[in-house]
Amino acid sequence: MKRNIIFGVALLLSLSLILGAFAPKPASEPGGEVAIDADEFDDEGDEDEGEAGPVTLRIAVLPIIDTIPLFVARDEGLFEEFGLDVEFIPVSSAPELSQMVASGQADGMVTDGLTVAFFDKEEIQIQIVRYGQTPSANTGHFFILAANGSGISTPEQLKGVEIGISEGTIIEYITDRLLQKQGFLANEIKTIAVPKIPDRMALLASGELQAAVLPDPLASLAVQQGATIILDDSQTPEYGASVYVFTTEMINEQPEAIGSFVEAIDIAVRFLAEDPDEYIPVLTDNKLIPPPLIENYTIPPFPTGIYSEAEWQDTLAWAQQKGLLLVDIPYAEAVNTSFLP
């Protein structure tokens, strides 16, 4: 893989050092004594100064598509090359993900802007340092789906229909924004709380829910099982972004390590763009995608850059309108742009 390139460079440097060892000795000064550079004879301890061990970063990881670059960076040895010991802490739900960071058991995670706002509503506890994933022109991130046999095939037919969502989350935010883009008024958007995604999928598949909102690739699995896509966020990437975040404590204590982490993810994203098919095994090995989808699945493109101020302000505005957030949180305090290349 790409790590071979890194090792090749290291080999060339090693050869240069070996050849340098056989370079001619310095000429003698008058009197027959060899000229000596005192800097070459520093205390033996100086050689070890600054050789600190790798910095440990603990990342809470949900098994979702957004985290592919994390696994690529690990498997390609990029974290190691940057002097990082990145520990993955597997979790199985979004609440557990947040809890790991809130309790101090993890230093960072891949989450969404709304979660960051909830964390930072009283004091700045975490900061966004990079995009995780964003929808693109041909690849949606979140989907409003209609059940097989529901008779729903257009957005207009969703008026007055209860749509299964998780309340107070990015799922509800996306639902409102996508339907508002279609001209829906607030009283025309009907939702019902089904917090757990497996329950939402099951109720949609059985027809007990006429419509539901799911993230991909679970949305693709639902379509394979008979659901119909009514809307997705592929044309509105400003709503569906995920983000990498770290605690402000870790950012303040280890800014260079956070910068190296972001750079390693940037390289992993470039590797994915150059040859996405090479990394299909990452999906299966880490259970990031349902097995029935593997054969025809294409790894989506991953972005560079960071959550924009417009995205942040819209997220806050929605949360405030819903009564979920009562304060303003400055963009510059919640989003740390200092790690951008």
Maximum Cα interatomic distance, the chain, rounded to a whole number of Å: 102
**What pLDDT does 18 receive?**
36
Segment 97-111 shows an average pLDDT of: 97
**What pLDDT does 136 receive?**
86
Per-residue pLDDT of 19-49, as tens digits, reads 343 344 433 333 333 333 434 334 444 444 4
Per-residue pLDDT of 247-276, as tens digits, reads 999 999 999 999 999 999 999 999 999 999
Give the start-end residues of each E strand in the chain: 55-61, 84-90, 108-112, 126-131, 142-146, 162-165, 190-193, 211-215, 228-232, 242-247
**What pLDDT does 51 receive?**
61
**What pLDDT does 226 receive?**
96
Question: In DSSP terms, which residues pair with 144 in a beta bridge?
Answer: 213, 231
**What pLDDT does 21 receive?**
39
CA 243 – CA 245 distance, rounded (Å): 6
Per-residue pLDDT of 118-168, as tens digits, reads 999 999 999 999 999 999 888 899 999 999 999 999 999 999 999 999 999
DSSP letter for 249, please: H
**What pLDDT does 279 receive?**
96
Domains by residue range for the chain, with CATH: 55-134+241-339 (3.40.190.10), 142-235 (3.40.190.10)
Strands 84-90 and 142-146: unpaired
φ/ψ of residue 58, rounded to 5: -100, 120
Segment 64-88 shows an average pLDDT of: 97
CB of 60 closer than 8 Å to CB of 108 = yes
Structure tokens at 5: 């390139």
Q: Mean pLDDT in the chain? A: 87
Per-residue pLDDT of 205-240, as tens digits, reads 999 999 999 999 999 999 999 999 999 999 898 899
**What pLDDT does 341 receive?**
82
**What pLDDT does 2 receive?**
56
**What pLDDT does 14 receive?**
39
Q: Which residue has the higher pLDDT, 75 or 27?
A: 75
pLDDT at 319 over 50: yes
Among residues 234, 210, 120, the alpha carbon closest in space to that of 160 is found at: 210
Rounded to the nearest 10°, the torsion over CA 341, 249, 125, 216 is 50
**What pLDDT does 1 receive?**
54
pLDDT at 17 over 70: no
CA 88 – CA 61 distance, rounded (Å): 6
CB of 120 closer than 8 Å to CB of 330 = no
Segment 55-61 shows an average pLDDT of: 97
**What pLDDT does 213 receive?**
97
Does residue 341 sit in helix, strand or coil? coil
